[in-house]
Amino acid sequence: MPPLRVAIIGGGPGGLYAAALLKRLDPTRDITVWERNAPDDTFGFGVVLSDETLGGIEHADPEVYTALQRDFVRWDDIDIVHRETRHTSGGHGFAALGRRRLLEILHTRCRNLGVELRFDSEAPYPAWLAETYDLVIAADGVHSTTREAYAHVFRPHVATHHCRYIWLATDFAFDAFRFEIAETEHGVMQLHGYPYAPDASTVIVEMREEVWRAAGFEELDPQESIESCAKIFAEALRGHPLRSNKSAWTTFRTVVNERWSHENIVLLGDAAHTAHFSIGSGTKLAVEDALALAACLEEHPDIPGALRAYEEERKPVVASTQRAARASLEWFENIALYLGQPPRQFAFNLLTRSRRVTHDNLRLRDAGFTESVERAFGCPPGTPPMFTPFRLRGLTLRNRVVVSPMDMYSAVDGLPGDFHLVHLGARALGGAGLVMTEMVCVSPEGRITPGCTGLYNGKQAEAWRRITDFVHTQAPGTAIGVQLGHSGRKGSTKLMWEGIDEPLPDGNWPLVAASPIPYTPENQTPRELSRAQLTDLREQFTAAAWRAARAGFDLLELHCAHGYLLSGFLSPLTNRRTDAYGGSLEKRLRFPLEVFDAIRGVWPEERPMTVRISATDWAEGGTCAEDAVEIARAFAAHGADAIDVSTGQVVAEEQPEYGRSYQTPYADRIRNSTGIPVIAVGAISSWDDVNSLLLAGRTDLCALARPHLYDPHWTLHAAAEQSYEGPGVLWPAPYRAGSRRPRTGRTDAPKPRLTLGT
For residue 1, the model assigns a pLDDT of 57
Residue 160 DSSP SS3: strand
Per the CB < 8 A criterion, the answer to whether 268 and 314 are in contact is no
Per the CB < 8 A criterion, the answer to whether 703 and 709 are in contact is no
The continuous run of DSSP H or E covering 287 comes out as: helix 282-299
Looking at the chain, the whole-number percentage of residues with pLDDT higher than 70 is 98
For 346, residues 6+ apart whose C-beta sits below 8 A from its C-beta are 80, 82, 338, 339
C-alpha–C-alpha distance, residues 245 and 41, integer Å: 9
Q: Does the pLDDT at position 752 exceed 70?
A: no
Please, what is the average pLDDT of the chain?
94
Q: Does the pLDDT at position 753 exceed 50?
A: no
Per-residue pLDDT of 194-238, as tens digits, reads: 999 999 999 999 999 999 999 999 999 989 999 999 999 999 999
- Domain 5-334: give its CATH architecture: 3-Layer(bba) Sandwich (3.50)
Amino acid 282 reads G
Per-residue pLDDT of 709-749, as tens digits, reads: 999 999 999 999 999 999 999 999 889 888 877 776 654 55
Residue 52 confidence class, pLDDT cut points 50, 70, 90:
confident
Per the CB < 8 A criterion, the answer to whether 494 and 409 are in contact is no
Per the CB < 8 A criterion, the answer to whether 554 and 479 are in contact is yes
Per the CB < 8 A criterion, the answer to whether 612 and 557 are in contact is yes
For residue 79, the model assigns a pLDDT of 96
C-alpha–C-alpha distance, residues 170 and 383, integer Å: 43
C-alpha–C-alpha distance, residues 330 and 319, integer Å: 16
Q: Does the pLDDT at position 538 exceed 70?
A: yes
Q: What is the DSSP string of 558-617?
A: EEE-TTSHHHHHH-TTT----STTSSSHHHHTHHHHHHHHHHHHHS-TTS-EEEEEES--
Q: Which DSSP letter does residue 202 get?
A: E
- Any idea which residues carry the catalytic annotation? 564
Per the CB < 8 A criterion, the answer to whether 678 and 667 are in contact is yes
Per-residue pLDDT of 154-189, as tens digits, reads: 999 999 999 999 999 999 999 999 999 999 999 999
Per the CB < 8 A criterion, the answer to whether 236 and 193 are in contact is yes
For residue 125, the model assigns a pLDDT of 94
Pairing of strands 177-184, 187-197: antiparallel
Residue 438 DSSP SS3: strand
For residue 736, the model assigns a pLDDT of 86
Rounded mean pLDDT of 416-440? 97
Per the CB < 8 A criterion, the answer to whether 92 and 363 are in contact is no
Range with lowest mean pLDDT among 277-286, 425-434, 512-521, 590-599: 277-286
For residue 648, the model assigns a pLDDT of 94
Residue 306 DSSP SS3: helix
Q: Does the pLDDT at position 42 exceed 80?
A: no
Rounded mean pLDDT of 29-36? 96
Per the CB < 8 A criterion, the answer to whether 6 and 135 are in contact is yes
Q: What is the DSSP string of 319-361?
A: HHHHHHHHHHHHHHHTGGGGTTS-HHHHHHHHHTTTSSS-HHH
CATH assignment, 402-498+507-726: 3.20.20.70
Ranges in the chain annotated CATH 3.20.20.70: 402-498+507-726
Pairing of strands 5-9, 135-138: parallel
Distance of CA 284 to the CA centre of its chain: 21
**Bridge partners, residue 187, by sequence:** 184
For residue 756, the model assigns a pLDDT of 43
Tell the burial category of 741 from Cβ atoms under 10 Å away from its Cβ (0-12, 13-18, 19+). Answer: exposed
For 209, residues 6+ apart whose C-beta sits below 8 A from its C-beta are 162, 163, 164, 251
Distance of CA 666 to the CA centre of its chain: 10
Rounded mean pLDDT of 487-515? 93
For residue 659, the model assigns a pLDDT of 81
Rounded mean pLDDT of 390-397? 98
Per-residue pLDDT of 284-298, as tens digits, reads: 899 999 999 999 999
Residue 575 confidence class, pLDDT cut points 50, 70, 90:
very high
For residue 657, the model assigns a pLDDT of 86
Q: Which DSSP letter does residue 367 get?
A: H
Residue 549 DSSP SS3: helix
C-alpha–C-alpha distance, residues 514 and 738, integer Å: 51
The backbone torsions φ and ψ at residue 660, rounded to the nearest 5 degrees and listed phi first, read -60, 130
Per the CB < 8 A criterion, the answer to whether 520 and 571 are in contact is no
Provide long-range contacts, Cβ within 8 A and 24+ apart, for 325-328. 325/254, 325/275, 325/276, 325/278, 325/279, 325/281, 325/354, 326/254, 326/276, 327/353, 327/354, 327/355, 327/665, 328/276, 328/278, 328/279, 328/353, 328/354
Q: Does the pLDDT at position 674 exceed 60?
A: yes
Per the CB < 8 A criterion, the answer to whether 35 and 140 are in contact is no
Per the CB < 8 A criterion, the answer to whether 169 and 200 are in contact is yes
C-alpha–C-alpha distance, residues 9 and 135, integer Å: 11
Provide long-range contacts, Cβ within 8 A and 24+ apart, for 580-583. 581/514, 581/534, 582/514, 582/515
Rounded mean pLDDT of 683-692? 94
Q: How far is CA 260 from CA 129, 133, 542, 672, in A?
A: 17, 18, 56, 39
Per the CB < 8 A criterion, the answer to whether 139 and 12 are in contact is yes
C-alpha–C-alpha distance, residues 297 and 135, integer Å: 10
Angular region, 718: left φ>0, alpha ψ -120 to 50, beta rest: alpha
Q: Which DSSP letter does residue 454 get?
A: B
C-alpha–C-alpha distance, residues 629 and 666, integer Å: 9
Per the CB < 8 A criterion, the answer to whether 567 and 560 are in contact is yes
Q: Does the global pTM surpass 0.85?
A: yes
For residue 755, the model assigns a pLDDT of 45
